[in-house]
Amino acid sequence: MSDVFALAGQNLASPIILSFVLGFGAALARSDLSVPEAVAKALSLYLLFAIGFKGGAGVAEHGVHSVLVMSMLAGAILSAGIPLIAFTLLRAISRLDRVNAAAVAAHYGSISIVTFVAATSVLATKGIQAEGFMVAVAAVMETPAIFVGLLLAAHASATVQTTAGGRNGLDKDLIREVALNGSIVILVGSFVIGWITGPAGLAEIDPFIGAPFKGVLTLFLLDMGLVAGRGMRQGMRHLSPSVVIFGLVMPLIGAALGTATGMALGLSAGGVALFATLSGSASYIAVPAAMRVALPAAEPSIYLTLSLAITFPFNLILGIPIYVAVATALTGG
Amino acid sequence: METHAAKRIEIIIEAPMQTRLTRVLEEAGAPGYTVLPVFGGFGRSGSWSREGQVSRAAGMVAVICIVAPEKAEPLLEAAYRVLERQIGIVSITDCEVVRKERF
């Protein structure tokens, strides 16, 4: 337990977290501080490219094992299974209707890639190795939850029906948009490039994707703090106390499942911690867009505020240190 | 200069629905349209601002389509199939255009 507090303390005092807190506080205080949209987009592209490339290079260096395929399969199962737990829990503890509960559940089955990037940074700082293929697991975990969430909602109303024109609902356009959203394409694409070019390729561009990584992540999290703070300021009134409690408890449930899965697969301490982080995080990019198209009856002020303003800060500040400490203790690494 | 009567259809819609809307407009015979960014607003679903959006999921866009009066009704019917269940505003105003054949 003391390890958890020590790591949480170190994490809190890092430039990355303090920048996030700065942004969060500035937004709550209604400061006009902002990061231009195009700059934030460029920062996120850089981070996703760097993390994908390093993951691919890591796989090239250490080889492909059956555990890679098993991990991706386990990730897909977790992504599909976690919404069922989230949905049941939400319906039990809150007054959210079925459609909104299903939409929220889909967010918690999917993943937050920024939380994943932050976790890899914490692991790197601690000198803890992780399997490079966790990048691929992250990509796989993004979408199954969306379909499970829509199926859960379909029982409640006709809001998921595809219209005669096939324009709304769960149509092929939505499936394509979700599967090929920009974050996934650059993450998987850079992973494949890193895999193909290997350590030699990594050495070529390491000055670009290595040393500046933490600085860029720090600036990006300043922006994420601003976004999360504004989300909290605008959306908190839409969240009941029980829903807020869900936003703090569900990451721990998801992370426990991710930890158990990582342990069962025999992953390293870093791999287990990243599996926990992915399972404990909630989407606020791909899933909200999919929900607006396929489930417009669900309230974005509920699911977006919950994942972005409650669960994301929780994971960033407390969740990741807990997941890393638990994974380290369990694996002995 | 001679001008001609036309209808200006302005649709403010959630960004994720943009391509679905513009496609049905094209299929319904829209001679053209313009997509504009929307910076923020307030309405039944609360207030929002483009600033600080982490993705386009919660953002809005404005689609403006100017057509000859007789084309307005079929375009609106087509657009409504997309807009029916979404957050958004549809307005139609009379306007004048210079080059009639383009609309």
Segment (H or E) for A332: none
Q: What is the structure's pLDDT at A163? A: 39
Size of interface A-B (CB pairs under 8 A): 71
Question: What pLDDT band is residue B81 in, cutting at 50, 70 and 90?
Answer: confident
Q: Please give the average per-residue pLDDT across A226-235, as a whole number.
A: 85
The two tokens of residue A268 are: 């390293």
ipTM tops the 0.85 cut: no
Rg of the Cα atoms in chain B: 15
Segment (H or E) for B8: strand B4-14
Instruction: Report the gap between the CA of A327 and the closest CA in chain B (Å).
Output: 30
Q: How buried is B101 (Cβ within 10 angstroms: 0-12 exposed, 13-18 middle, 19+ buried)?
A: exposed
Cβ(B65)–Cβ(B75) under 8 Å? Answer: yes
Q: What is the structure's pLDDT at B54? A: 60
Q: Which of A234, A286, A300 sits opposite B47 (nearest CB)?
A: A234
Residue A163 at interface with chain B, using a CB cutoff of 8 Å:
yes
Strand pairing report for B4-14 and B88-97: antiparallel
Give the residue, A32 or B35, on which the prediction is more confident.
B35
In this complex, do A173 and B19 lie within 8 Å of one another by their Cβ atoms? yes
The SS3 of residue A237 is helix
Listed residue (B87, B79, B25) closest to B59, CA to CA: B87
Query: Residues A208-236, buried b or exposed e (16+ Cβ, 10 A)?
Result: ebeeebeebbbbbbbbbbbbbbbbbbbbe
- Concatenated DSSP letters for B20-33? HHHHHHHHTT-S--
Domains of chain A: 2-331 (1.20.1530.20)
Q: What is the structure's pLDDT at B45? A: 65
Listed residue (A277, A324, A223) closest to A11, CA to CA: A324
Cβ(A171)–Cβ(A33) under 8 Å? Answer: no
Q: Please give the average per-residue pLDDT across A6-33, as a whole number.
A: 87
Instruction: Report the gap between the CA of A236 and the closest CA in chain B (Å).
Output: 12
Q: Please give the average per-residue pLDDT across A228-238, as a whole number.
A: 84
In this complex, do B20 and A230 lie within 8 Å of one another by their Cβ atoms? no
Domain range for B96 is: 4-102
Q: Please give the average per-residue pLDDT across A263-270, as a whole number.
A: 95
The two tokens of residue A209 are: 């994707």
Lowest-confidence region among A62-66, A103-107, A162-166, A169-173: A162-166
- As for how many domains chain B has, the answer is 1
Question: What pLDDT band is residue B42 in, cutting at 50, 70 and 90?
Answer: confident
Question: What pLDDT band is residue A10 in, cutting at 50, 70 and 90?
Answer: confident
Question: Residue B89 sits in a domain of what CATH number?
Answer: 3.30.70.120
Residue A215 at interface with chain B, using a CB cutoff of 8 Å:
no
pTM value is 0.85
What's the mean per-residue pLDDT of chain A? Answer: 88
Instruction: Report the gap between the CA of A45 and the closest CA in chain B (Å).
Output: 13
Lowest-confidence region among A11-15, A149-153, A217-221, A261-265: A11-15
